[in-house]
Amino acid sequence: MPATTECRTALRDGRVLGVTATVRPRANRAEVKCVVPCAPQLAERMQEVVRLARLTEHRFDSRVQVVLGLDVAPEPGDRNWELAAVLADRVARGVWAPPPGAELYALGWSDAWQLGRVDGYDAPPALPALLDTDVLLLGGADLTHLGALTGHADPAAAVSSVRAWFPLHSGGINDALSWVEVSVFPLDGAVVDEEETIAVPGVDADVQAAVRQALAGARHFDGRGLGRWRTAVRFGEPRFAGDSYQLALVMADRLARGRDFVPRGRLIASGTSKAWHAGRVDTVEGCAAKTALILAQAGQGDRVLLPAAWESELPTGYAAALRSLGATVACVERIGII
């Protein structure tokens, strides 16, 4: 495994950018670290891209850390570097390798890296001048999905991705139903720690830890849910407070893994738990405001799940009002009995 690798790309303004990837022992650090001077948001986006693209790998070794860096700062909105970052990460870890002695150039971006899809690239004024031994990959043209690197079928065929919605209530005009998306990919190989197989890009460390603990606990409740999946979790609104999203998270995971019935519309849920390993659903605050928000935005075919403790607090006729919209509601005390 090489200590440091580089993949180059061409930006829309014609500049050539180099992405370097360095491997070092994990030592209880994050599995991906991105360094972009004076551009913390770009570094955060690079970390998200790499973590999501890793979902489609059949084997994943979490014992190493990969440090990624850019030698040129791209302009805002220039995304050609995304494919170069993904490939540099894979080459550094020995997941894929270009021909020996070849310089690797890659231009491409995706709105669904967790599916292994490469949507396209932004054409620069001129492509880089290459030697006969160099390799150039253009997203959406030469490379439409990451599986093609090794001659495999589109990995999206093996990725199950499901969204569930939960009410975000702050007492203002920003109240809304936000989504959490869980994407799972069959895991090939033994798992040391279930939480290490769950990536949650774009959120802070506390939310990452809470998401991993909730999913690991809920899968433990399944009996045979552990050690079978690699998982990526995304939030529509990554900055929020509280843990009322957890029931929606757990249900999205169950739907993605085929452990529950898929509703005709959306699954909308609010609830948390101190004991997901026992399948228990605990109450959360804001019953009146959140149920009103759900009623205002529910639609045909939606399934609404609320904590059992809310059943006595629901407004009179709430279930009938939802039924008139074509939605259903259930107050549950455990997952798996819905």
- Domain definitions of the chain by residue range: 4-150, 160-332
Q: Under a CB-based contact definition with an 8 Å cutoff, are residues 108 and 80 in contact?
A: yes
Confidence of residue 45 (pLDDT cuts 50, 70, 90): very high
Mean pLDDT is lowest, of 42-56, 85-99, 121-135, 272-286, for 121-135
* Cα pseudo-dihedral 126, 132, 136, 142, rounded to 10: 110
- Please state the rounded mean pLDDT for residues 191-219: 90
Confidence of residue 196 (pLDDT cuts 50, 70, 90): confident
pLDDT score for 2 = 52
Q: Under a CB-based contact definition with an 8 Å cutoff, are residues 145 and 156 in contact?
A: yes
Statement: residue 144 has pLDDT above 70: yes
Confidence of residue 225 (pLDDT cuts 50, 70, 90): confident
d(CA 53, CA 113) in angstroms, rounded, equals 5
CATH of domain 160-332: 3.30.230.10
pLDDT score for 100 = 84
- Please state the rounded mean pLDDT for residues 232-241: 88
* Residue from 332, 335, 337 nearest 278 by CA: 335
Q: Under a CB-based contact definition with an 8 Å cutoff, are residues 325 and 298 in contact?
A: yes
Confidence of residue 337 (pLDDT cuts 50, 70, 90): low
pLDDT score for 156 = 86
Q: Under a CB-based contact definition with an 8 Å cutoff, are residues 50 and 85 in contact?
A: yes
State what percent of residues in the chain have pLDDT above 90: 62
Is-same-fold flag (4-150; 160-332)?
Answer: yes
In the DSSP assignment, the letter for residue 171 is S
Query: Between these two residues, 332 and 225, which has the higher pLDDT value?
Result: 332
- Please state the rounded mean pLDDT for residues 196-220: 92
Give the list of residues 6+ apart from residue 270 with CB closer than 8 angstroms, or none. 166, 167, 244, 247, 248, 284, 290, 294, 305, 306, 307
- What is the domain class of 4-150 according to CATH? alpha beta
d(CA 62, CA 26) in angstroms, rounded, equals 8
